Amino acid sequence: MAQPLITPPPDLHEVQSPPPRASGRKTVIWIIVVFVVIGLGLLGIRALHKAPDQSSGRGQGGRGAGGADASRAIPVAVAQVQQRDIPVYLEGLGNVQAYYTVTIHSRVDGQLMQVRFREGQQLRKGDELALIDPRPYEVQLAQAEATKFKDQANLENAQRDLQRYADLYKQGVIAQQQYNTQQSVVAQQEGLVRADDAQINNAKLNLIYCHIKAPIDGQVGLRLVDPGNMVHASDPNGLLVITQLQPISVLFTLPEDNLQIVVQHMKVGRLEVQAWNRDDTQQIADGRLETIDNQIDPNTGTVRLKAVFDNRDNALYPNQFVNARLQVYTRQNAITMPAAAVQRGAQGTYVYVVKQDKTVESRPIKV
C-alpha cells in the first residue's frame, strides 16, 4: 500500500527532468520522511511520560497546600467611595427651533428691482434686503401733493369769503343762512385738505415699503424670488425667510409626573439645561429654562418646556434633534461610587467591600 504514496503520478513523470535526477530527488524525499517519522515518535513518547507526572502532581496539589490553583486569588480593581454634591437631571427629547422666524413679504405690488442680500448672510435689524420699483408710488405721491395744493387754494378762498360774509352779516346786509352756508363750504374744504394729507402720507408710506428692510437680527435662508419678477403683497411664500439663531431655543418634553418638581425649583431660581447630541455622547451647549407650556398633552401625558441657548458658536441649528438635560436641583454631600461597582441580585442592590485582609464581602446598599 505504501508504494502508491511515494510513486509520482504519470503526468508528473512527463514534466520532470531526466530519470537519473528524478531518482536522486526520491532519495532525498525518503530521507526527509524518515526524519519526520522519528521526530514525531520521540514527541509521542515524551508526552506519554509526562502525562502521569502531571496527573500525579494535580492529585497531590488537591490534597495538600500545593492546590493553590483551585483557590488562586483573582485580581480586581477597587475604587473609593466619595462624598460630594451631585446634580439631579431630568432628560427629555428636544427639537431646536429658531428664537424668531420671519417670512419677509412685499407690502406693495411691483417689480422686484434689486436683491441686496446674500443667501446665508448674517443680518442686523434695519439692513436693506430688496428694492421694489418705486416709480409708480412716486407718481402717486406727486398726484396727492398736487390735489392738496388745489384743495388748499380753494380752502383759502372759502375762508376769505367767509370773512367777508361775516362782516356783511354784522351789517345786516346778508341773511344768517347765507353766512352759515359759507361756513359749511369752509368746513368741506378743510376736510378735503385733510384727506389730501392722508393720501400724501399713504404715498410716502408706499415709497418706504419699496425699500424692504430686515425686521430682526438673524440669518437669511435661500432666496425665494429672483430680481425682475413681479411681486404682490398677497403672495403666500414671500421673498425670503430670516431665522434668529443667537439666541436659539429648544423645545423638549417631560412626563407630567415631573411637572411639580420643575415648577417648585423654577420658583427658587434659574434652572440650567444642557443640550446633548442624538447619541447622548457629546454635550453641545449650555442654556437655561425659559418657560413651561400652560397645558399638558392629554395624548402623551407630557408637558412641553422651552430652553434658551446663546448659541454663539452656532452649534445648534433649527429642526435639529437633541437630548435635553434639565438640572432641577443639586443633592448635597451625596455618597458616590462607580456605576460598575453596583450589583443587583435576588436580595436587592449590593456592592463588594474590601476588608482588612484584602478579601471582599458583599454589603447591601440603597440607591
Nearest-angstrom CA–CA distance, 322 and 285: 10
Edge-to-edge, what's the strand order for the sheet holding 343-345? 343-345, 348-354, 360-364
Given its phi and psi angles, is residue 185 left (phi above 0), alpha (psi -120 to 50 degrees) or beta?
A: alpha
Rg (CA), the chain: 48
Q: Specify the pLDDT at position 6.
A: 36
DSSP 244-264: EEEEEEEEEEEEGGGHHHHHH
- Helix ranges, 18-77 (H): 19-63
Domain 87-98+243-330 has CATH 2.40.30.170: yes
Task: State the pLDDT at residue 73.
Answer: 67
Print burial letters for 281-304: b (CB count within 10 Å at least 16), e (below 16).
eeebbebebbeeeeeeeeeeebbb
Kindly state the DSSP code that residue 339 receives in the 8-state scheme: G
Q: Please tell me whether the overall predicted TM-score, pTM, comes out greater than 0.75 for this model.
A: no
pLDDT, position 71 = 57
d(CA 231, CA 281): 48
Q: What is the C-alpha to C-alpha distance for residues 157 and 162, in angstroms, rounded to an integer?
A: 9
Residues 46, 37: Cα–Cα separation, whole Å = 15
Q: What's the longest Cα–Cα distance across the chain? A: 166
- In this predicted structure, what is the pLDDT of residue 48? 45
Listed by start position, the domains of the chain span 3-51, 87-98+243-330, 101-231, 337-367
For every one of its 367 residues, what pLDDT tens digit does the chain have, with 9 covering 90 and above?
Answer: 333 333 334 443 333 444 444 444 554 455 554 444 455 454 444 544 444 444 444 444 444 444 445 456 677 778 888 888 888 999 999 999 999 999 999 999 999 999 999 999 999 999 999 999 999 999 999 999 999 999 999 999 999 999 999 999 898 888 899 999 999 999 999 999 999 999 999 999 999 999 999 999 999 999 999 999 999 999 999 999 999 999 999 999 999 999 999 999 999 889 999 999 999 999 999 999 999 999 999 999 999 999 999 999 999 999 999 999 999 988 888 888 888 888 888 878 988 888 888 788 888 887 7
Q: What pLDDT is recorded for position 362?
A: 83
- CATH 1.10.287.470 is held by the domain 101-231: yes
